[in-house]
Chains A and B, each alone.
Chain A
Amino acid sequence: MSDKQQLSVIEHIKVKSHGLRGTLKESLTDEITGAVREDDHALIKFHGMYEQDDRDLREERAAKKLDKLYSFMLRLRIPGGLITPEQWIATHHIAGQYSTGVIKITTRQTVQLHGILKGNIKPTLQSFSKAALDSIAACGDVNRNVACASHPHQSRIHAQIHAYADKISTLLLPKTRAFYEIWLDDEQIEAYSEVDPLYQDSYLPRKFKIGIAIPPNNEVDVLTNDLGLIAIIENEELKGFNIAIGGGLSATHGNANTYPRLATVIGFTDT
């Protein structure tokens, strides 16, 4: 990356963010607005959230001299979409207390809550933390929730393969402690000393998606992922994975260089 001139605004924000901390702590103490500071918009995604506002209310609120009604969408990190009954019940209560009360289950096997006010983000994440759930890297330019054939109890193999989803998710987490410091009040690390050999300070240019399929089923739509792993099973033994790369559904409107494409299988790796 020698030519920094060409980089977008977001890239500069990431690099300057001290490990995704930015001014999020300060944003939380800005009482006068329900929004976070401008540069933090990009950073809060890495913590699993998007800032939104109710467009239908904009005009009415402006006439009342009220700012836009800002709130946050929170997405959890649930590798392979597996959560325990206790975690589901906790999610249910947390959704009722701090969000619109609606739990949305996404195509990437995770859960989204909407309408969380800025002041309620910390209590929400702290409650989730008690249930051993987090939203680290659920949005943002990093590896997203790892999708995986969804029923680990279907067979011994399923459980074994699901463990890969969990392992990959953990392995590809950003190394920064920012999430714990900002939302869970963990002590701040002096001079932000974490080193992240994988993501470094600029993270990825865009989001990155990984999916694992166990034939003959393909519920994760494996070839639409940046990285698709297709389990190869012989005599009820996991032999390894066929690896497919370069899949994706996104296209930027009006930019012909971006288009949806299926992943290409490039080879096999054993376990």
Chain B
Amino acid sequence: MLEEARVKQLKELLKAFTKEELVWLNGYTAGVMCGETAFTNDNLQKVVSKPLVQKITIAYGTETGNSKKLATEFAAKAKKNGMVVKLNALDQYRLTDLTKEEYFLVLISTHGDGEAPAAAKKFYDYVHETTTKISNLKYSVLALGDTSYPLYCQTGEDVDKQLETLGATRIAPLQKCDVDYEEDANKWFTQVLHALNTTAHVAQVGQIAEVAAVVKKTTGKKTYIGEVITNINLNASGSNKQTHHIEIVAEDLDYLPGDSIGIVPQNPTAVVEEIIALTGVDANKFIEFKKESRPIIDLLTNKINIHYLLENTIKKYAAIIQQDIPIVRMDLLDLIKIYPVKDAAQFEEVLAILNPIPPRLYTISSSPAAHSGEVHITVVKDVFKVNEKQKFGLCSNYLSYFSQGASMSFFVQPNKRFKLPESFKDIIMIGPGTGIAPFRSFVAERDATGATGRNWLFFGEEYFTTDFLYQTEWQNYYNTGVLTKISLAFSGDHKDDLQVHHKMLQQAQELFEWIKAGAYLYVCGEKEKMSVNVENTLLQIIAEQGKLSEIDAHKFLESLEEEGRYEKDVY
């Protein structure tokens, strides 16, 4: 779009900026584009930090699906009104989040004899049992019921009363609805919207002050000590996979969608203990490793890689114990079992030649705007066989056992290229398997910031019923219009091993139209097969749809790459 000379000029200029400054600049230019002309130094800060939208959470507890239907409708309506909406089923709502909410709308039905619907039972019990005050919460309740039952809308009444008892402020009175709920429900929501619009002004002023008070963050690789608050296996029973969704809270988190976190896994205690027993080494003896003096057990657990040693390391090991050893990669434990060390002293020599545990990088699946103060990762447990023996990938196995409340240390690894474009640009995301991670972050961020660009997701896994990672979240994004399109490939459900690139080809025409209209393409996930198939398919689509030769199709894709419109995060 720009002349070469101008691009050069711009690049030179941008070099001098820090990341934070570039983020700021991004907002600034967006502001300029909006047509606001006279910027002065005084109002620059405001332009960048003023939230254009207000955040609300809509939660529903449904028995027959009516409250879900209404909640989804209202969420879409609120989004159209420029609000940022978190839509949650109460059975999926994290109860501890209640203290963090500001505007909270509950749509809840009453089951049979005045009981909460099964899907809202946990929430209902929680608000009745907790003693934590939620005085920041502003709420309103819509109760669905049936007048033919004596305890009509009892659950809604209870929740409405209990939230008040817990210190929350009611912004619109409880609305009860009978089986013909549409009219009353709409009336309630209009009232709620009105209440939100009249309080919005105050909230925005408060938020500006908050943003202005944020201290400039330091750059560099900082180690965070976070606390695991959730660790769930996303795959249903019967799946061949075990994909863990792990949520970690940490203070002063600083990352952008597309970034990764690095984690140094611990070696399994049982293995470390066996090594110590076999070698007879004193577990508590301090020795020096990479200029750090620590007890051997600590080093073997937290610092030294004992897993799948490099060929070079095996060579060095052979030299120390003075034996002929076939140079193949293997674990330290297996090595000392087959080719034992002479004594503890010799083992200490071995320790010195070993390498530190390398950190594993996981693309972040949360969004700073949607999941404030948290970082989420999506980790598939790596299961493989060595000599008929089942083995697990060290880090994925290590992570799968983290329980709620455990602390985890990690650092943020920025990925400068894999970044969301300006908010009005369209994006196409191709992320089968755990390649979904950055796209959960992207879409959550775009949802939370009210980005207007279209979003198209390609996802693939083995089975629809057990392996559709974050299915209900995608459904909410889709039903509220944030996710424009979703194309799915479940290989196990199809005789012909359906993959994401097949789905791309099926929609070649539309895909090419998106690209022509300026869409940004992102690919994340497995490198060897998936990303190659996806790239070849892209080239095929460009050639066929754009009526280009093979060479020109390559050039086309290269130019996308140069414009930063084709980015890969593959591994």
Q: Report the separation of the CA atoms of residues A34 and B493 in the bound assembly, to the nearest whole angstrom.
A: 13
Looking at the assembled complex, report how far the CB atom of B14 sits from the nearest CB atom of chain A, in whole angstroms.
Answer: 39
Nearest neighbor of B122 in chain A, beta-carbon distance: A59
The answer to whether B175 has its CB under 8 Å from any CB of chain A is no
Q: Report the separation of the CA atoms of residues A32 and B480 in the bound assembly, to the nearest whole angstrom.
A: 14
Chain A CB within 10 Å, residue with most, of B232, B233, B465, B469: B465
Q: Chain A residues near B465 (CB, 8 Å)?
A: 34, 69, 117
Say yes or no: A62 contacts B236, CB within 8 Å: no
Q: Report the separation of the CA atoms of residues A66 and B472 in the bound assembly, to the nearest whole angstrom.
A: 6
The answer to whether A57 has its CB under 8 Å from any CB of chain B is yes
Say yes or no: B464 contacts A38, CB within 8 Å: no
* B464 interface neighbour in A59, A65, A117, Cβ under 8 Å: A117
Q: Chain A residues near B486 (CB, 8 Å)?
A: 31-32
The answer to whether B475 has its CB under 8 Å from any CB of chain A is yes
Say yes or no: A60 contacts B236, CB within 8 Å: yes
Q: Chain A residues near B245 (CB, 8 Å)?
A: 65
Say yes or no: B92 contacts A63, CB within 8 Å: yes
Counting residue pairs across A and B whose Cβ atoms lie within 8 Å, the total is 63
Say yes or no: B92 contacts A65, CB within 8 Å: yes
Q: Report the separation of the CA atoms of residues A32 and B479 in the bound assembly, to the nearest whole angstrom.
A: 10
Looking at the assembled complex, report how far the CB atom of A29 sits from the nearest CB atom of chain B, in whole angstroms.
Answer: 11
Q: A34-B464, A59-B91 are in contact. Are A66 and B236 (CB under 8 A)?
A: yes
The answer to whether B558 has its CB under 8 Å from any CB of chain A is no
Nearest neighbor of A70 in chain B, beta-carbon distance: B465
Q: Chain B residues near A119 (CB, 8 Å)?
A: 464, 493
* B234 interface neighbour in A32, A34, A59, A66, Cβ under 8 Å: A66
Say yes or no: A64 contacts B488, CB within 8 Å: no
The answer to whether B470 has its CB under 8 Å from any CB of chain A is yes
* B89 interface neighbour in A34, A62, A64, A254, Cβ under 8 Å: A62
Interface residues of B in 238-254 (CB under 8 A from A): 245
Say yes or no: A58 contacts B118, CB within 8 Å: yes
Say yes or no: B471 contacts A38, CB within 8 Å: no
Q: Chain A residues near B488 (CB, 8 Å)?
A: 31-32
Q: Report the separation of the CA atoms of residues A38 and B475 in the bound assembly, to the nearest whole angstrom.
A: 15
Q: Report the separation of the CA atoms of residues A64 and B472 in the bound assembly, to the nearest whole angstrom.
A: 9
The answer to whether B566 has its CB under 8 Å from any CB of chain A is no
Contact with A along B453-484 (1 / 0, CB 8 A): 00000000000111011111111001000000
Q: Report the separation of the CA atoms of residues A58 and B91 in the bound assembly, to the nearest whole angstrom.
A: 10
Interface residues of A in 77-127 (CB under 8 A from B): 117, 119
The answer to whether B363 has its CB under 8 Å from any CB of chain A is no
Looking at the assembled complex, report how far the CB atom of A12 sits from the nearest CB atom of chain B, in whole angstroms.
Answer: 13
Say yes or no: B234 contacts A61, CB within 8 Å: no
Q: Report the separation of the CA atoms of residues A64 and B466 in the bound assembly, to the nearest whole angstrom.
A: 10
The answer to whether A33 has its CB under 8 Å from any CB of chain B is yes
Say yes or no: B487 contacts A31, CB within 8 Å: yes
Contact with A along B34-71 (1 / 0, CB 8 A): 00000000000000000000000000000001000100
Q: Chain B residues near A60 (CB, 8 Å)?
A: 236-237
Q: A32-B488, A119-B464, A254-B148 are in contact. Are A62 and B65 (CB under 8 A)?
A: no
The answer to whether A221 has its CB under 8 Å from any CB of chain B is no
Q: Chain B residues near A34 (CB, 8 Å)?
A: 464-465
The answer to whether A166 has its CB under 8 Å from any CB of chain B is no
Say yes or no: B92 contacts A62, CB within 8 Å: yes
Say yes or no: B475 contacts A32, CB within 8 Å: yes
Looking at the assembled complex, report how far the CB atom of A195 sits from the nearest CB atom of chain B, in whole angstroms.
Answer: 33
Interface residues of B in 215-234 (CB under 8 A from A): 232-234
Q: Chain B residues near A38 (CB, 8 Å)?
A: 65, 69
Looking at the assembled complex, report how far the CB atom of A67 sits from the nearest CB atom of chain B, in whole angstroms.
Answer: 5
Q: Report the separation of the CA atoms of residues A132 and B486 in the bound assembly, to the nearest whole angstrom.
A: 37
The answer to whether B531 has its CB under 8 Å from any CB of chain A is no
Nearest neighbor of A57 in chain B, beta-carbon distance: B236
Q: Chain A residues near B468 (CB, 8 Å)?
A: 66-67
The answer to whether B313 has its CB under 8 Å from any CB of chain A is no
Looking at the assembled complex, report how far the CB atom of A100 sits from the nearest CB atom of chain B, in whole angstroms.
Answer: 13
Nearest neighbor of B477 in chain A, beta-carbon distance: A32
Interface residues of A in 38-78 (CB under 8 A from B): 38, 57-67, 69
The answer to whether B318 has its CB under 8 Å from any CB of chain A is no
The answer to whether B235 has its CB under 8 Å from any CB of chain A is yes
Looking at the assembled complex, report how far the CB atom of B230 sits from the nearest CB atom of chain A, in whole angstroms.
Answer: 10
List 11 additional A-B contacts (Cβ < 8 Å) besides A63-B92, A64-B233, A66-B466: A32-B478, A33-B475, A60-B236, A61-B236, A62-B472, A64-B234, A65-B92, A65-B470, A65-B471, A66-B236, A69-B236
Task: Sample 29 A-B pairs with CB under 8 A, ordered by A number.
Answer: A31-B486, A32-B471, A32-B475, A33-B475, A34-B464, A57-B236, A58-B118, A59-B91, A60-B237, A62-B92, A62-B472, A63-B91, A63-B92, A63-B232, A64-B235, A65-B234, A65-B470, A65-B471, A65-B473, A66-B471, A66-B472, A67-B471, A67-B472, A69-B465, A117-B465, A117-B493, A119-B464, A119-B493, A254-B148
The 9 residue pairs across chains A and B that have the minimum distance between CB atoms:
A62-B91, A31-B488, A65-B472, A66-B471, A67-B471, A65-B470, A64-B234, A62-B92, A32-B486
B residues engaging A (CB < 8 A)?
A: 65, 69, 89, 91-92, 118-119, 148, 232-237, 245, 464-466, 468-475, 478, 486-488, 493
